[in-house]
A = this chain, B = another copy of it.
Amino acid sequence: MRVPSELTEFVKKEDDFFIASHFNPEGDALGSSIALHMALKSLGKRSVVFNRDLVPDTYRFLPGSDMVTGVVPAKIDNLLLLDCNSSGRAGLEKCIIGVSAVIDHHLTSDGFGDIRWVVPECPATGLMVFNLLKVMGADISEEMAINLYTAIGIDTGIFRYPNTSYECLAASAELVRMGADPGMIAERLFNNYSRNRFLLLKETLNSIDLRDGIAVTVITAGMYISTGTTSADTENFVNYPLLMGDVQVAMLFRQLGNDSWKVSLRSKGTVDVSIVATAFGGGGHRNAAGCEINAGLQEAKERLLKKLKDIVGL
């Protein structure tokens, strides 16, 4: 992976940086930001590492996560924008920004950034930062390695998604040699369910309604109450029915109120559920979309199933 020389020149020349990433951050945004912040310090430079939404509990294990600030400054001299490519995605749209450099692997773009290093085919921003640090001659410490391994890990489903490449495995091997502990990191990222959350998962799977190629699961308000959980505990639940080889679409209905449901849709391969979600006023991507629907549960399910049948033939 070639690191643009204008980026390395910029980082070499300046001494003070503001590192930002997208709000509602996950491991790639946070891990690559914190690792870059530490590396700049090790090179004798100063930086601030910023995220509007600070660090969710899941990522508090990242060394240096306590250094992330949520304070938006009025003015930024040298911005390093990571894992997104518009100032608005980082919550910085009202800042006066001097020079900005973007390091990102997302496709959507409004052209923001004086220096733009955007590589959509790269699985993770963490892999780009890894390459930048090597080009800059930064020593990658154990703390940086944990951050970068997490960044690459979360965006490849720890090497399970189709974007998993030779480069990200080779870099991750190096990061393990530098001190990242794969077992610990996987444990922190995935095996972090509370007992209540596990009970809710169990109940959610019990709700399954299997049709041809489609699996529907439901979480009612009563299930949250009986298990002592909230909608924040449902992350990734929609995906479980996709364990079945012949399930192409998974839908999870979560109750919002009387006759009101939030619907999450996931699909495999070329099945485009965003069209279905859009038809109900929602949106998303081909394989992950969502919408809301006001109806009783049976009617809501049948309306979604009918739309799926009409639009994608399932």
User: A interface vs B, CB < 8 Å?
Assistant: 157-166, 169-170, 172-173, 176-177, 181-184, 186-187, 190-195, 197-198, 201-202, 205-206, 208, 210, 241-246, 268
- Collect the chain B residues with CB atoms within 8 Å of residue A170's CB: 169-170, 173
- Collect the chain B residues with CB atoms within 8 Å of residue A186's CB: 157, 159-161, 164
Q: Knowing A159-B158, A186-B160 are in contact, say whether A244-B193 is a contact too (CB < 8 A).
A: yes
Across the interface, A205 reaches (CB within 8 A) one of B159, B205, B243, namely: B205
| A201 and B205 alpha carbons, distance in the complex (Å) | 9
Question: B190 contacts A160, CB within 8 Å?
Answer: yes
Question: A160 contacts B182, CB within 8 Å?
Answer: yes
Q: When A and B form their complex, which 9 residue pairs have the shortest distance between CB atoms, in order from nearest?
A: A162-B183, A169-B173, A160-B186, A164-B182, A170-B173, A193-B243, A166-B176, A166-B177, A193-B244
Residue on B nearest A208 in the bound complex, by CB: B202
| A183 and B243 alpha carbons, distance in the complex (Å) | 13
Across the interface, A182 reaches (CB within 8 A) one of B169, B176, B183, B198, namely: B169
- Collect the chain B residues with CB atoms within 8 Å of residue A205's CB: 201-202, 205
Q: Knowing A160-B190, A198-B241, A245-B192 are in contact, say whether A169-B172 is a contact too (CB < 8 A).
A: yes
- By CB atoms of chain B within 10 A, which of A158, A172, A177, A183 has the most? A183
Question: B173 contacts A195, CB within 8 Å?
Answer: no
| A166 and B245 alpha carbons, distance in the complex (Å) | 31
Residue on B nearest A210 in the bound complex, by CB: B195
Q: How many copies make up the complex?
A: 2
- Collect the chain B residues with CB atoms within 8 Å of residue A162's CB: 181-184
Q: Knowing A160-B158, A169-B172, A173-B170 are in contact, say whether A245-B191 is a contact too (CB < 8 A).
A: yes
| A172 and B167 alpha carbons, distance in the complex (Å) | 11
Q: Jot down 27 A-B pairs with beta carbons below 8 A, ordered by A.
A: A158-B159, A159-B159, A159-B182, A160-B186, A160-B187, A161-B183, A162-B182, A162-B183, A164-B183, A165-B176, A169-B170, A169-B182, A170-B170, A173-B173, A187-B268, A191-B242, A191-B243, A191-B244, A191-B245, A193-B244, A193-B245, A194-B245, A194-B246, A195-B210, A198-B243, A202-B205, A202-B206
| A194 and B244 alpha carbons, distance in the complex (Å) | 6
What is the distance, in angstroms, from A3's C-beta to the closest C-beta of chain B?
Answer: 20
- Collect the chain B residues with CB atoms within 8 Å of residue A206's CB: 202, 206
- Collect the chain B residues with CB atoms within 8 Å of residue A243's CB: 190-193, 198, 201
| A206 and B208 alpha carbons, distance in the complex (Å) | 14
Across the interface, A244 reaches (CB within 8 A) one of B166, B195, B210, B241, namely: B195
What is the distance, in angstroms, from A187's C-beta to the closest C-beta of chain B?
Answer: 7
| A158 and B166 alpha carbons, distance in the complex (Å) | 15
Question: B158 contacts A169, CB within 8 Å?
Answer: no
Residue on B nearest A188 in the bound complex, by CB: B245
